[in-house]
Structure 1
Amino acid sequence: MYIYKSQQIVLILYMGLYNKYILPKAINWACDQKPSRMQRKKIIPLASGNVLEIGIGSGLNLPFYTSKVNTLTAIDPSIELWNRTLINTSELPFNFKFVLASAEDIPMGDKKFDTIVITYTLCTIPNLSKAFSEIKRVLKPTGKLLFCEHGKAPDRGVQKYQNIINPVWKRIGGGCNLNRNIPTIIENNGFKISKLETMYLPGWKPASYNYWGIAVIK
């Protein structure tokens, strides 16, 4: 019993160090590959007005925002990831603010934003229903949700593999789920998708099927 408890303590300590020091580097590297950068380039320039980015990570979207943005507020629950940013935010051509917060509890006023951006983040949010309730609260009725995510593949063979490895992947990937049906999640939480594109990106198929587009409040 003592040996078992000792092993548990060692595992907890290891996972704590892994999540703090190793995982942020791994996530930043994976999200900064060329195929993902190309996806960001497709969706981020569509942002305009007062913008909220949910799950900014290390700021990989920042180079793709345009002068159509007046203000950009960015939230993320991981200070370790944000501290890896290489962007000097004081030189951005719009007002920028980073807030340490989660999608389930957005510390902003109602109907504040013209655009909400979420990229490669829906896969990790624990409580999607609460997150979308918050997104609808802070988004103007005439606003838009821009999204780009990986998720459930259309091929049954790939789906089967996603489902098998997802429990392990989620544990080592910071809560990332491989098999979430992104369009269904968005439309089941009060939004209507007005534009949707999909494709496999180059790379490992279970993690490379992408959905991106625009959604508005129903």
Structure 2
Amino acid sequence: MSFYHEHILPHVIGFACGQPQIMKKRSQIVPLATGRVLEVGFGAGPNLSFYDPARVSHLYALEPSEGMRRKAADAIAACPVTVELIDLPGEEIPLEDASVDTVVLTYTLCTIPDAEAALAQMLRVLKPGGKLLFSEHGGAPDADVAKWQRRIEPVWKPLAGGCHLTRHPDTMMQAAGFGIERVEAMYLPKSPKFAAFNYAGIAVKA
């Protein structure tokens, strides 16, 4: 990893992903997690305060960035839920088949290089009937916004840790074998439109 990716990018991502409109979405999704939980793209732990220790027995926190794991140390120490950090990317989940009750995916799918492989791994480790809770930005439905997303993405990706602007999380999850239980799609307020179209909801493993 470069100096930028390990020492500067974690702060940039932490600032961007900690904006009030994004934290509001996290607060609506993360408390739904139950049982043994896998969070893919744990980052610096912005979701930790939203986990209910009465409902979550163990949290596997998958995060490949050393810089992000360093930033997460204080939040983990203060968390009442048992957190187990895993230094691997989403394409390499080292858990047994059907071993977790909930997967949490917030503002992460956009940056995973092989998102299809990562979603296949999430499906594999979920128990039958398990849920994937997600809140992700992605491709906008408006032609003018989508056009600008395609134009900006090649420049945006190297600056934002590989972040894609044009992915459609819900259709990607369905293609991976998940059923969409519910999804809310909208532009987040007070955000640049090219990065503001948000998909939040629940996908299930049949």
SS in 2 for 1:185: helix
Partners of 2:139 and 2:66 in 1: how far apart? 28
Q: Which residue of 2 aligns with 1:27?
A: 13
- CA shift at 1:198, angstroms? 1.2
Correspondence for 1:208: 196
One-letter code aligned to 2:88: A
* Larger relative contact order (CA 8 Å, sep ≥ 6): 2
Root mean square deviation, CA, Å: 1.3
2:22 aligned residue: 36
User: In structure 1, what is the equivalent of residue 58 of structure 2?
Assistant: 71
Residue identity opposite 2:105 in structure 1: I
Deviation at 1:88, TM superposition (A): 4.1
- Checking the alignment, whether the CA contact within 8 Å between 2:48 and 2:75 is kept in structure 1 is no
Cα displacement string for residues 53-81 of structure 1 (whole angstroms, at most 9, x for unaligned residues): 00000000000011211111110111101
| Aligned-partner residue type, residue 217 of structure 1 | K
C-alpha deviation, 1:109, in angstroms: 1.3
| Structure 1 residue 90: Cα displacement | 4.0
Deviations 1:181-212 (A, max 9, x none): 11111111110100110111121011111000
What secondary structure does 1:32 align onto? coil
Aligned counterparts of 2:15 and 2:76: Cα–Cα separation in 1:
20
Structure 1 unaligned regions, length at least 5: 1-14
In the alignment, structure 2 segments of 5+ residues that lack a partner are none
Q: Which residue of 2 aligns with 1:147?
A: 134
Q: Aligned partners of 2:75, 2:169: CA distance in 1, in Å?
A: 32
In 2: Cα distance, 1:189 partner to 1:217 partner: 10
Residue in 2 aligned with 1:11? Answer: none
Kept in 1, the 8 Å contact 2:6–2:65? The answer is no
Which residue type is aligned with residue 68 of structure 1?
A: R
Q: 2:185 aligns with which of 182, 185, 198?
A: 198
Matches within 5 A, 1:163-202: 163-202=150-189
SS at match of 1:154: coil
Determine helix, strand or coil for the equivalent of 2:157: helix
- 1:159 aligned residue (146, 157, 163): 146
Q: CA contact under 8 A between 2:51 and 2:81: conserved in structure 1?
A: no
| 3-state SS of paired residue (2:113) | coil
Q: CA deviation at 1:17?
A: 2.1
Please tell me whether residue 134 in structure 1 is matched to residue 131 in structure 2: no
Partner of 1:104: 91
Deviates more, 1:176-185 or 1:91-100: 91-100
Comparing 55-64 and 132-141, the one that deviates more: 132-141
The secondary structure found in structure 1 opposite 2:71 is coil
| TM-score computed with the length of structure 1 as normaliser | 0.90
1:35 offset after TM fit, Å?
A: 0.6
**1:120 alignment counterpart:** 107
Q: TM-score, normalised by structure 2?
A: 0.95
1:188 match: secondary structure:
helix
Which is higher, the Rg of structure 1 or of structure 2? 1
